[in-house]
Structure 1
Amino acid sequence: MLYAHAMDIARLRHIVAVADTLSFSRAAEQQNITQPALSRSIAAFENRHGLKLFDRGRGGVTITPAGEFVVAEARSLLRSADELTRNLQLYAQGAAGRVAFGIGPLVASLLLPRLSGSLLSSSPNLEIATVIKSPVDLLASLYDDSIEMIIGNDWQLADAHGIAIEEIAFLDLAHVARAGHPLARKDRVTPEDLAAYPAARPVRLNMGKADAGTFICDNYYVLRETVLHSDCTWTTAPAFVEDDLANGRLIALNVEGLALAKSRICIITLAGRTRSPAARTVADLARQVVRGWV
C-alpha cells in the first residue's frame, strides 16, 4: 500500500477526485482549491513516484493503467484514514475503545445494571470489562494496570499506597432478616441476640470470637436469597432490598448499641495517572447514578 504522510492524504484526495470527475476543473471545485493548485499537487505525486496518472487530451481526462492502480490503493487508504478519524473522535468522547474497571460486590449489585445499560446505549462501540471483588482484593489489578479504577467502599484501604480516592456517595446500611425470623418479632435486638444466628456476609471478617456461623458469598443476589430462606441475618444496603422491605419479606432489625456507619463509596485510581476518555465517562455516569442514593 502507498506510504502517506499528512500532506499525502490531501494529495490522494485530489487524485481520487480527478478519477471520479474526469475533470481537473470539477475536481478542483470539489476539493475547494484552485485548478492550478490541484494540477501541481498531482504533478508532484507523479514526479515523486515516476508515474503518469492521467492523460489530458481534446477528449478530456483519461486514467492511465498506473492511475487505475494508484486510485484503487488511494481509495483503500482514504477509507482507513476516515475510519481512524471517526474512531479517534469516538475515543476522545469516551464512546469507543476499551475500559476495564473493578467494582465492589454491593456497589456492583446496585450500580452495574444501570451503568452498563447507560454505557451501551450511549456508546455502543465501547468494550466494557468489569471485575467484581472487594476493593482491597482489586488493588493488585489496579497497580498492574489491568483495571483503570475501582468503584466501591474504601474502609480497607487506609494503608494502600499510591492511590487517589474520590468520595462520591455515602450508602446507608441496615441489619436485616427474613419476615418470620425469631428476631423479627423483637422491638429491640441485642448484639447477643444477633450473634446467636448465622450471618450472611460478602467477605470474611476477623472477629474476636466465633459466632453462630457465617455464609460468605460476594454475590449479593445469592446473599439475598439465602437470607430470605434461612435464619441468617445480613448487613446490607436498604437501597438494594427496598422492594423486599416495602412488601415485608425482609425486616430491618433494631440492634441495640450496634449502630451502623454509612458505607463511603469512592472512585479509586492510581495517583497521578490520566484516565482514558472511556474511564472518565464511566466515572461521570457512576456519579450520576449514586446521587439517587443520598
Structure 2
Amino acid sequence: MLDLRALTYLVTLARRANYARAADDLGISQPALTRAIQSLERQLGMRLFDRDRSGVNPTPQGRVFIDRAAVLVANADDLERQTQLTADGREGVVRFGMAPMPARALLSATLSRRLAEAQAMINDVVVRNVEALWPLLTAGEIEFFVSAEGQVPDASSVRAEPLGHFPTGLIVRRGHPLLDGAHQGETFPVLLSSRMGGVLLDMLPASASRSPHCIEDFETLSALTASSDAIWVNSSFAAARECEAGVLQELPFPEADAPRRMRIMMYSLERRTLSPAARSLKQELRRQIAILAKRAGKQSG
C-alpha cells in the first residue's frame, strides 16, 4: 500500500526540482528524502526521477505517476482541512430551533457573527413555539432549541443548559394611559407570543383583560402594541429596537414588586453529543445575552 507521506515527498520534490530545497520545505534532511524516494521507486518497480547537472527531473513514467499522486495529496489535504473545520464548528450543517421571544432578541446578532466567522457552516433554523419544537428535538430533526425555562415536559432524556436571564415585563406604546394614570375604568387588551406566557399574567394591572390574545408573530405583536392600547407581556430584550427608538416602553414595576427575570435555556437530548457547531452557538448565545444585559444596565443607569 502506498504511503501518503511518501507521496507528499514525491510531489514536493517534483515541484521544487531540487532535493535540498524539497527537504527544507518538508522539514526533513536531504538523505531522509533521498531514501524515501528510493524506497518508493523500489516499491513501484520503476525509476521516477533522473538526476543530472540541470537538477531533478521526472522520468516519463514518473510524470504520469506524479500527476496522479498530486491529486491524491491534494484530496488528502482538503479532507484534513474540512475535518478540522468541522471539528472547530466552522463547516457542516447545524439544525436548531428557537422560541419566538429569544429568537427576536438573539437570532439576528448571533447568526450575523456566525456568518462572518464560519462562512462554510450552514445554519438551518426553525422559529416556533416550544410545543412544536419539542417533537422536532425528540425526532432528531433539530440538534437543540432555545426557550425560556419551564416550558418543556419533564423528561430524563433532556439536557438543559442555562444561557442567561431575560428581564420580564409589560410593554406598551409611548403615551399609553397606564403610564400617567389617565385611564378611567378602561380595560386593556393583553398580547402574548405563546400560551406558555400565561404564567406571567399575575404581573398584569387590574385594568388588563384576563383573556389574552396569543399571536406567534413578533412583528405583528410589535405593530399592534405600537398602534393600540394593548399590553404586551414580553421581555424588553425582545423589544429592544422599539424601546430604544422610543416607540414602545416598559411599564414600571410597582414599588412593592421586584423586577422579574426568566432563565433562557438550551435544550438538547442527553444521549446525544453536541456538535462543535452547537457548542460554538451556545457560547455565542451566552455572549449576546451578556451584551443585552450590559446595554440594559447602562440605559437604566
Asked if the contact 2:163–2:266 (Cα under 8 Å) also holds between the matched residues in 1, the reply is: yes
CA RMSD of aligned residues (A): 3.3
Alignment of 1:128-139 (within 5 A): 128-139=123-134
TM-score (norm. length: structure 2): 0.78
For 1:66 and 1:99, locate their aligned partners in 2 and report how far apart those are by CA, in whole Å: 46
CA deviation map 1:170-224 (0-9, x unaligned): 222222333455555537999xx6xx443322124698xxx68654332322210
Give the structure 1 partner of residue 87 of structure 2.
Answer: 92
Give the superposition deviation at 1:273.
2.6
Alignment of 1:48-67 (within 5 A): 48-56=43-51, 61-67=56-62
Give the superposition deviation at 1:118.
1.6
Letter in 1 for 2:193: P
CA deviation map 1:27-66 (0-9, x unaligned): 3444343444333322333333343322345765432222
For 2:118 and 2:44, locate their aligned partners in 1 and report how far apart those are by CA, in whole Å: 43
What secondary structure, in the 3-state scheme, does the structure 1 residue paired with 2:92 have? strand
What secondary structure, in the 3-state scheme, does the structure 2 residue paired with 1:172 have? strand
Fraction of identical pairs, as percent: 28
Give the structure 2 partner of residue 249 of structure 1.
Answer: 247
For 2:196 and 2:82, locate their aligned partners in 1 and report how far apart those are by CA, in whole Å: 46
For 2:197 and 2:90, locate their aligned partners in 1 and report how far apart those are by CA, in whole Å: 43
Q: Mean alpha-carbon deviation: is it higher for 277-286 or for 46-55?
A: 46-55
For 1:183 and 1:58, locate their aligned partners in 2 and report how far apart those are by CA, in whole Å: 94
What secondary structure, in the 3-state scheme, does the structure 2 residue paired with 1:147 have? coil
Give the superposition deviation at 1:270.
1.1
Alignment of 1:1-294 (within 5 A): 8-56=3-51, 61-186=56-181, 196-204=187-195, 215-242=213-240, 244-245=242-243, 249-253=247-251, 261-294=260-293
Q: What is the aligned length?
A: 282
Give the superposition deviation at 1:267.
1.4
For 1:206 and 1:117, locate their aligned partners in 2 and report how far apart those are by CA, in whole Å: 28
Q: Mean alpha-carbon deviation: is it higher for 16-25 or for 218-227?
A: 16-25
Gaps of 5+ in 1: none
For 1:137 and 1:282, locate their aligned partners in 2 and report how far apart those are by CA, in whole Å: 21
TM-score (norm. length: structure 1): 0.80
Give the superposition deviation at 1:232.
2.8
Give the superposition deviation at 1:108.
0.8
For 2:101 and 2:224, locate their aligned partners in 1 and report how far apart those are by CA, in whole Å: 15
For 2:261 and 2:194, locate their aligned partners in 1 and report how far apart those are by CA, in whole Å: 17
Asked if the contact 2:105–2:239 (Cα under 8 Å) also holds between the matched residues in 1, the reply is: no
Cα 1:23/1:80, change in 2 over 3 Å: same
Cα 1:95/1:205, change in 2 over 3 Å: closer
Cα 1:287/1:50, change in 2 over 3 Å: same
Asked if the contact 2:165–2:261 (Cα under 8 Å) also holds between the matched residues in 1, the reply is: yes
Letter in 2 for 1:218: E
For 2:56 and 2:90, locate their aligned partners in 1 and report how far apart those are by CA, in whole Å: 44
Cα 1:247/1:70, change in 2 over 3 Å: closer
Asked if the contact 1:197–1:213 (Cα under 8 Å) also holds between the matched residues in 2, the reply is: no
Cα 1:246/1:93, change in 2 over 3 Å: closer
Gaps of 5+ in 2: 199-208, 294-301
Letter in 2 for 1:278: A
Asked if the contact 2:130–2:147 (Cα under 8 Å) also holds between the matched residues in 1, the reply is: yes
What secondary structure, in the 3-state scheme, does the structure 1 residue paired with 2:237 have? coil
For 2:244 and 2:197, locate their aligned partners in 1 and report how far apart those are by CA, in whole Å: 33
For 1:234 and 1:206, locate their aligned partners in 2 and report how far apart those are by CA, in whole Å: 10
